[in-house]
Amino acid sequence: MTESAKFVLGDKNAELQLRHGTIGPDVVDIAALYKNTGLFTYDPGFTSTASCESKITYIDGDEGVLLHRGYSIDQLAERGDFLETCYLLLYGELPTASEKEDFVYRVTRHTMVHEQMSRFYTGFRRDAHPMAVMVGSVGALSAFYHDSTDITDPHQRMVASIRMIAKTPTLAAMAYKYHVGQPFVYPRNDLTYAENFLHMCFAVPCEPYHINPTLAKAMDRIFILHADHEQNASTSTVRLAGSSGANPFACIAAGIACLWGPAHGGANEAALNMLGEIGTKDRIPEFIARAKDKNDPFRLMGFGHRVYKNYDPRAKIMQQTCHEVLDELGIKDDPLLEVAMELEHIALHDDYFIEKKLYPNVDFYSGITLKALGFPTEMFTVLFAVARTVGWIAQWNEMIEDPQQRIGRPRQLYTGAPRRDYLAIDQRA
Ligand code: SDX
């Protein structure tokens, strides 16, 4: 017996099917609403709207829970590694030892990019924001890998998926090297994913680069924390771009463009800049007051979340990782960390933040950690994009394989001018 909700408005009515998930809120299927009533629903920002059915990631915002294919983020971050998480997101199960070995082999051997990409980079200004370079270079992959752009071919989709996961770290490292004026460093197949990324970013031809295992582990964990997050703005962008049949490289480039915004992935860069602007603990009250001031557009970057109305579970792990990295590097009393911890303490005891359920999110501590690892602020969102590529790709594959999949085409509430006739220019007021 299919449960349903009855919609009645005057003489208009519709029987709307209720659908149940494994966990989390049920949904009312409104597909029949317009056909039966001539009415649209209205939900800018999609605060009450499920755009799709998915099996990949589940978030409980009230409980501060994040599951990838049913496994909690804290267990994956503590006991797994990033490529294992990539396999889980793509294939739905944790890999066996042989499956993992094969997957790592495949990803590792796709880390190089076409040699002409090096010349592509020389077209950018050196002081271009690395995210601008990433949008351009990831989109440009469509111009190099035509043999994996047929989205109707499962084999080509998987090849494109592996290429994206493998090549975004290389493109990101090239964006950093180009930005700082150092030569590109080729990927190495004898290194792990995180080790390889640190090596491509920080090795120089003049001397051997020593990989610090604690820092490599922290980098790998940061990738895990950012891998996927349900239907966030950039993932929804990738899904919508993909729904038109655009090739996967173009869809991921669209996701990177959306992630760049300071309300989304750009918040890690904005959060660190904010901590720098605050500077010292005694200036925190001034910024807290600004965050509460309705007339001031200022917001505490790294705070608040559309879904989490409790502590972002990733932020807890990120804070712990931050301390591990600072300890390993012997950085004592980091002024930014001092300000961050005091700001968090004050905000979590302030009625405004308590009432609006504003907690630190994944971006609050990531900036301090990434700065300590040696990355400039403008690289923070690039690192987020490197990690999130697997989430975007997994969600894109799920959408393509969804039998209900159609091109995404929302409607609107039109409040513009009613029909009117053209006026010759000498008749206009
Ligand atoms: C990410 O969606 C995802 O899953 C994203 C992400 C992922 O992994 O993909 O988790 C990554 O994007 C994390 C969020 C990073 N962004 C920031 O840290 C930027 C600062 N945060 C805000 O801009 C805001 O909290 C959002 C954008 C994150 C969420 O915005 P919502 O859900 O639209 O909430 P809102 O803007 O309607 O705010 C609700 C109220 C408002 O006050 P009222 O109008 O009700 O009086 O809370 C206030 C806001 O003014 N508020 C804040 C605030 N965030 C919300 N006030 C001060 N500082 C803040 N940070």
Q: Is the CB of 363 within 6 Å of ligand 1?
A: yes
Residue that the structure tokens 């173009």 belong to: 250
Is residue 68 annotated as a catalytic residue, yes or no?
A: no
DSSP 249-287: HHHHHHHHHHHTSTTTTTHHHHHHHHHHHH-SGGGHHHH
Element (H, E) at 216: helix 213-225
| pLDDT > 70 in the chain, percent | 100
* C-beta separation of 145 from 121 below 8 A: no
Q: How far is the CA of 358 from the centre of ligand 1 (A)?
A: 8
Joined tokens for residue 117 = 């990409």
Pocket lining: 361 vs ligand 1, CB cutoff 6 Å: yes
Q: What is the mean pLDDT of residues 108-127?
A: 96
List C-alpha distances in Å: 1 to 17, 30, 33, 253. 11, 18, 20, 44
Q: For ligand 1, atom 20, which residue shows the shortest CA distance?
A: 301
DSSP state of 148: G
Per DSSP, 128 falls in state S
358 Cβ closer than 6 Å to some ligand 1 atom: yes
Decide whether any atom of ligand 1 lies within 6 Å of the 306 Cβ.
Answer: yes
Residues in the chain: 429
Residue carrying the six token digits 């995180």: 194
Catalytic residue among 110, 264, 305, 312: 305
Place of tokens 């659908």: 19
Tell whether ligand 1 has an atom less than 6 A from the beta carbon of residue 395: no
Q: Look at residue 332 and tell me whether its pLDDT is greater than 90.
A: no
Residue 305 Cβ < 6 Å to ligand 1:
yes
Q: What is the pLDDT of residue 22?
A: 96
Residues 6+ apart with CB under 8 A from 342: 281, 284
Alpha carbon distance 280, 142 (integer Å): 47
Distance 57 CA to ligand 1 centre (A): 20
The one-character DSSP state at 96 is: P
3-class SS at 8? strand
Checking if the pLDDT of 309 tops 80, the result is yes
- In the reported structure, the alpha carbon of residue 424 is separated from the centroid of ligand 1 by a whole-number distance in angstroms of 48
Mean residue pLDDT of the chain comes to 95
**Residue 305 appears among annotated catalytic residues:** yes
pLDDT (0 to 100) of residue 1: 63
- Of residues 81, 228, 312, 363, which has the active-site annotation? 363
Tens of pLDDT, residue by residue over 126-140, are 999 999 999 999 999
Using the predicted structure, report yes or no on whether residue 404 has a pLDDT greater than 90.
no
Ligand 1 pocket member 68 (CB < 6 A): no
pTM (two decimals) = 0.95
Q: Mind listing the pLDDT tens digit for each residue in 139-181?
A: 999 999 888 889 999 999 999 999 999 999 999 999 999 999 9
Cα-to-centroid distance, 305 and ligand 1 (Å): 5
Decide: 232 in ligand 1 pocket, CB within 6 A: yes
pLDDT for 409 equals 95
Cα angle 260, 263, 265; round to 5: 40
238 within ligand 1 shell (Cβ under 6 A): no
Nearest CA to ligand 1 atom 30: 306
* Residue with CA closest to ligand 1 atom 3: 232
Taking the centre of ligand 1 as the mean of its atom positions, its distance from the CA of residue 359, in whole angstroms, is 10
pLDDT digit string (tens) for 407-424? 999 999 999 999 999 999
Q: For the chain, what percentages of helix, strand and coil (3-state, to nearest 5) are there?
A: 55, 5, 40
Question: What 3-state class would DSSP assign to 66?
Answer: strand
- Residue owning the nearest CA to atom 40 of ligand 1: 356
- Furthest-apart CA atoms within the chain: distance in Å: 79
Instruction: Kindly state if the Cβ of 272 falls inside 6 Å of ligand 1.
Output: no
Choosing from 268, 344, 361 the residue with most ligand 1 atoms within 8 A of its CB, the one to mutate for a pocket test is 361
pLDDT in tens, 67-104: 999 999 999 999 999 999 999 999 999 999 999 999 99
Q: Which of 89, 264, 309, 392 to mutate to test the pocket of ligand 1 (most atoms within 8 A of CB)?
A: 264
Q: What separation in Å is there between the alpha carbon of 222 and the centre of ligand 1?
A: 21
Backbone torsion region of residue 422, taken as left when φ is above 0, otherwise alpha when ψ lies between -120 and 50, otherwise beta = beta
